[in-house]
Amino acid sequence: MKSFASLFLWRIVILLIPIVSLGQTSEDLYETWDPGYKGNVPYGKPPQCVDIPDDLRLCHGVGYEKMLLPNLLEHESMAEVKQQAGSWVPLVHKNCHPATQVFLCSLFAPLCLESAIYPCRWFCEDVRDGCTPIMEAFGFPWPQMLTCDKFPQDDMCISAPNATEASKPTGYSPVCPPCDDEMKTDGILDHMCASEFAIKTKIKEVKRENMDRKVILQKRKKPLKLGTLKKKDLKNLTLYLKNGADCPCTQLENLRNTYLIMGRKVDKQYILTGIHKWEKSSKEFKNTMKKLKSHKCPAFENVFK
């Protein structure tokens, strides 16, 4: 990711040659930033150039150290940026597009420049087309705040460093997104945060239903997180793996194991958002279950709308 972000930074510098004095470097831009400047920005509050904090997980280490606040999504405080940006970290981890982090950080943590530079419309469309299937698998649509039509098509916009490479996701796995079963704490917590409920149970039967897979659970279920799900709904709970009729999901092929199963209600269906083998002999899995009790999740409902 670092090399990709570095290329992205050079792309910004090249694009800004017409408005940056000859001989300036990208670091000089931070020094010449005028905090009272009110150029091409979508808000009235004077912008400031601030450090990207370590706990802004989405953009810390993206390739530059300073960001504009308010940002291009009109978040005026760092607390608001962190809260909103945190919801997008799981999507970056899914590698649905090689420039997902670059695209999101150009909006959440824009470079400190004398005029707001938005991502190019086609860049937005590339990321959207690559990541929408992943988001839909978790029951989230592409949000209105990132509608690509509102971004510019001219030369003065942020693009991926290499259009050919960026249009072809690297590291993307064909495995159904909820079935990405690496027993890593961060991944399980990300799945948990994208879910409304979580239970410990076994699977009784799996059926194909149109382009989805219908997952019928055994009667015995131990709730770990109920959210809006009521205990009486557990008895006949049936989940759907959206658009998962053809993608691989090894968990749904082995009905003997006990699983940590997560989901959320979308319209009138319960969507499967995560399934992990209940590995009681795994030290990391045990620690993850302990962390679940105190882990604070970002508010997805405030972002994906």
Encode burial over 232-243: b for 16+ CB neighbours within 10 A, e otherwise: eebeebebbbbb
Encode burial over 268-281: b for 16+ CB neighbours within 10 A, e otherwise: ebbbbbbbbbbbee
What tens digit of pLDDT does each residue of 235-244 get? 889 999 998 9
Q: Which of 22-26, 76-80, 185-189, 269-273 has the lowest mean pLDDT?
A: 22-26
In this prediction, residue 162 has a pLDDT band, given cuts at 50, 70 and 90, of low
- Classify residue 290 as exposed, middle or buried by CB count within 10 Å of its CB (0-12, 13-18, 19+): exposed
Report the relative pairing of strands 212-225 and 66-69 from DSSP bridges: unpaired
Torsion of CA 107, 112, 114, 118, to 10 degrees: -20
Stated as kind and residue range, the H or E segment containing 89 is helix 89-93
The angle formed by the CA atoms of residues 64, 145 and 29, to the nearest 5 degrees, is 25
pLDDT value for 182? 65
What tens digit of pLDDT does each residue of 190-217 get? 778 778 899 999 999 999 999 999 999 9
pLDDT value for 299? 62
pLDDT at 24 over 50: no
In this prediction, residue 37 has a pLDDT band, given cuts at 50, 70 and 90, of very low
pLDDT at 137 over 90: no
The residue count of the chain comes to: 305
Q: Which of 131-140, 169-178, 189-198, 290-299 has the lowest mean pLDDT?
A: 169-178
Total-model pTM: 0.68
pLDDT at 51 over 90: yes
CB 90 within 8 A of CB 56: no
3-class secondary structure per residue, 222-259? EEEECCCCCHHHHCCCEEEECCCCCCCCHHHHCCCCEE
Mean pLDDT, the chain, integer = 78
In this prediction, residue 44 has a pLDDT band, given cuts at 50, 70 and 90, of low
Encode burial over 119-143: b for 16+ CB neighbours within 10 A, e otherwise: bbbbbbebbbebbeebbbbbbbebe
Tokens of 228: 């809006």
Percent of the chain residues past pLDDT 90, beyond the cut: 36
What tens digit of pLDDT does each residue of 249-294 get? 999 988 899 999 999 888 889 999 889 889 888 888 888 888 877 7
Domains of the chain, start order: 2-166 (1.10.2000.10), 177-302 (2.40.50.120)
Type of residue numbered 226: L
Phi and psi of 169, rounded to 5°? Answer: -55, 130
